[in-house]
Structure 1
Amino acid sequence: MKDIDRAVEALRTEFQGTLFTPDVGGYEDARILFNAMIDKRPAVIAQCADVPDVQSALRFARETGLEIAVRGGGHGVAGAALTEGGIVIDLRRMNTVDVDPDARTATVGGGATIGDLDGATQAYGLATTGGRASTTGVGGFTLGGGSGWIERKFGLACDRLLSVDLITADGDPVRASETENPDLFWALHGGGGNFGVATAMTFRLDPLTDFAIALLLWPAADGPEVMRLWRDVMDAAPDEAGGGLIFLTATTEMPFVPESLDGQLAVGVLVTWIGAEQGVRDLVRPLLDRKPVGELITAIPYAQLQSMLDDPPGMRNYWSAEHLASLPDPAVDVFCAQAEGMIIPSGSQHAILRLGGAVTRETADWPISFRDAPWVVHPFGVWADPADDERAREWTRDLRAALEPWSTGAVYLNFTGDEGHERVVAGYGKANYDRLAGIKSQYDPGNLFHLNHNIRPL
């Protein structure tokens, strides 16, 4: 330990950011992640101020042999942004977003969140696909593929990438784009944090000014009929429409929820709409005819929607996903029946999302396996009491298993935790995984970056 202490003191002399060790004030706050189930104590948390800090922290890790975790937003459910006894390369201070409104591009620091990105681009009436929560880190979200509310119109977040600045395991700065290191650029469209530390990403933007939502609510018993209506509406909807259907605990903290549903299991539909409010009203008319007990239809800034569904910090989390090739009536019945296994009341969401549109039409051959799936089931467990841990995991696993007859076998890895190596391969497809392993061998042959959905070097 004395050798580590001396190495830390040597690192301090060249480090512009802040170094936290267990004996330094602020350490406990610095190690908190989104998922309260993760409780690890790193030896060092290196909050980097710039690229040289990232290089110094990597050199320190190589010299000391400490395990490396990389933290952008710290939102991943598996807690890979933290390491027990290792070093966390924490990018949160590197969170600038520089927008060029004329070129319609945004260059985003490796520690920026979706909220940072959306706020900066909205000021110019521009946007790119973000996640479904403002606290998610842009880096991990994008490098894992990047599925969000407006993907049916604009594609996945990684489809919008123009370049990525990366620091490799050797500490070398590398830029990946269509013309610079194109194999690495290909790998970063879904391959996650396997190849280095992403310190900056540049995105293509599109105009987005008018935006609206419809949020409708019914008692849970109405779930099968509502879900069939919603399915048919979304099957016929243009790419401007997105959203999902969710079983959740209703709460009168939302002003449109009636007292009769407070604390009860309910079924909700969220339809997002790129355009004026009347467009979403017209689209959801069949659902309005089904007389929801709660209703909110309004124009809203896109960035505001992105933060509306943020979960409170300090909750325990366990998620997964199953991508479906179709959603026939028997699958609807199974999905609705499985909602009874949720923890009520809690922040858990028994969700299914509509994909398709630009996600499916995009022709780039990125290492992403789920593009062709029109639906994704997403059990999103959020609860407070550790005594409910196993119950929440069981509900998640049971929902996946129940929908397996309609599954494509693909998976969006950002929606999952550590579910084994076979699921990682399924996230890319076997041929893509093998190619990724070869690229991993070039940029990280020692697998220093292994706290992720890991691609093993050849």
Structure 2
Amino acid sequence: MPQAVARCANEADVIAVLAHAQKYNVPITPRCGGHGYAGYSTTTGIVIDVSPMNTITVGTGTATIGAGAKLIDVYDQLTAQGVAIPTGSCSSVGIAGITLGGGIGIVDRAYGLTCDNLISADVITADGKKITCNESNEPDLFWALRGGGGGNFGVVTSFTFKTHATSDITTLQASFPLDDLENVMSVWQAWPETLPDNIWGQAIVSWIGGGSPTVGIRVFCIGSQADAEPYWTKFLADVQSIPLGTSITTATYRSTMMGNCAGANMALCRSGQRNAFAASSDFFDVPVPETGWSKLKNFINESIVAGNFGMIILDLMGGVIDNFQPTDTAFIHRKAIFSAEYYTFFNGSAPNATVDAAQVWENSFRTVMKPWSTG
């Protein structure tokens, strides 16, 4: 448990807390108040909570966003002015964590990662100095902030991003039984070779909730159904498996990104439901052979028998993401075909032992897929 949580309303508060921590040799950890699967946003010392610093200002082609803003507020305020930035799809995630970690989302093949759209950042260093870093001022720090993780180089208080105009998004979905995993994933992972950058895809392998395990495919196209359907029709034909169901819808950018939070209780969407998570992840630079998908399917079936339930969330990459070289920013996975998140969750009151055991199990997926992953 931390000795104190300092809710900082401005940069002067951050500087004061850092001075106190320096004087009394107390460890500190910044927190923006979003998600923290591994508990890295807490400490035995002082938590510097920047969540009150959540002001959002839209300029000409840019948006300046306080480090405490949640994605629900980013989408709400930016789309109201017809613009957005590429970022994640979970409303209670904080803008600071997702930017500093890279920032994968459903339009990143078209516009790049969240960190790729960062123009500058205001940072308070350990000695209490404010630095505005960008490509020309403190370029090494600016490089590290784009995908190097949070809390290691200073306390970021504000980000300035370039924005893009919003447009309607078409969502296409299909569900297959787990038995078809090899067919579905072999076609899915090869898809970026022929997809235009305005189309992004996700696969969700789920065996949670007691139902039959499934492989769900979700596709998001910046554009109309007519733009997306030729690629979708070919995908379904190439899979050569009969889907359990399919759907196609078109909605506004705002509605797509805000999901169930569009028109909902904003306060609830900012906080989200408190759960305990166990998760691990991988990136894949080369296609997984059919034997690899079979090995994964077998491990999932073994997990079900053992009473371990969860899901795997796989996101296509490529497009504008790999226009950058791996050394251009601290996010090195530029050549990845897709990423994988091995994931489960529990009620927020779950005992630590339960979550710790689940984390060991989730990490074992990385062992299963190690012959083909790049870490």
With the shorter chain as reference, the TM-score category is 0.7 to 0.9
- Closer/same/farther in 2, CA of residues 279 and 136 from structure 1, 3 Å limit: same
Q: Could you tell me which amino acid in structure 2 is paired with residue 54 of structure 1?
A: V
Which of 32, 36, 43 is matched with 1:76 structurally?
36
Which of 165, 188, 193 is matched with 2:122 structurally?
165
Which of 273, 284, 288 is matched with 1:313 structurally?
273
Secondary structure, in 3 states, of the residue corresponding to 1:284?
A: helix
1:420 aligned partner: none
* Shift in Å, 1:87: 1.2
RMSD: 2.5
Secondary structure, in 3 states, of the residue corresponding to 2:140?
A: helix
Aligned partners of 2:116, 2:294: CA distance in 1, in Å?
34
More displaced 10-residue stretch of structure 1: 266-275 or 69-78 = 69-78
- Closer/same/farther in 2, CA of residues 87 and 343 from structure 1, 3 Å limit: farther
Unaligned ranges ≥5, structure 1: 1-40, 252-261, 410-458
Q: Could you tell me which amino acid in structure 1 is paired with residue 50 of structure 2?
A: L
1:439 aligned partner: none
From the two aligned structures, give the one with the greater strand fraction.
2
Q: Deviations over 1:310-349 (max 9, x none)?
A: 9962222122212112223222323333333556999832
* Shift in Å, 1:191: 2.3
- Closer/same/farther in 2, CA of residues 106 and 347 from structure 1, 3 Å limit: farther
* Shift in Å, 1:187: 1.8
The residue correspondences of 1:42-441 to structure 2 (distance < 5 A) are 42-84=2-44, 86-100=45-59, 103-192=60-149, 193-249=151-207, 263-288=211-236, 290-308=241-259, 313-327=273-287, 328-340=289-301, 348-363=310-325, 365-384=328-347, 385-386=350-351, 388-409=354-375
Q: Deviations over 1:372-395 (max 9, x none)?
A: 111222212223354643552233
More displaced 10-residue stretch of structure 1: 186-195 or 327-336 = 327-336
Question: What is the aligned residue count?
Answer: 356
1:414 aligned partner: none
Aligned partners of 2:294, 2:47: CA distance in 1, in Å?
45
Q: Deviations over 1:158-185 (max 9, x none)?
A: 1111110011111111100122222221
Retained in 2: the 8 A contact 1:146–1:158?
A: yes
Secondary structure, in 3 states, of the residue corresponding to 2:180?
A: helix
Unaligned ranges ≥5, structure 2: 261-268
User: What is the TM-score when the length of structure 2 is the normalising length?
Assistant: 0.87
* Shift in Å, 1:125: 2.3
User: What is the TM-score when the length of structure 1 is the normalising length?
Assistant: 0.72
Q: Could you tell me which amino acid in structure 2 is paired with residue 173 of structure 1?
A: K
* Shift in Å, 1:71: 0.8
Q: Deviations over 1:282-323 (max 9, x none)?
A: 322145454422333211233444444999622221222121
Q: Deviations over 1:199-257 (max 9, x none)?
A: 10000111221212112212222222222332343432111111211111477xxxxxx
Q: Deviations over 1:412-446 (max 9, x none)?
A: xxxxxxxxxxxxxxxxxxxxxxxxxxxxxxxxxxx
Q: Deviations over 1:83-105 (max 9, x none)?
A: 23x211111111111111xx210
Retained in 1: the 8 A contact 2:208–2:310?
A: no
Retained in 1: the 8 A contact 2:92–2:272?
A: no
2:263 aligned partner: none
Q: Could you tell me which amino acid in structure 1 is paired with residue 250 of structure 2?
A: A
More displaced 10-residue stretch of structure 1: 390-399 or 141-150 = 390-399
Retained in 1: the 8 A contact 2:284–2:374?
A: yes
Retained in 2: the 8 A contact 1:115–1:303?
A: no
Percentage of matched positions with identical amino acids: 33
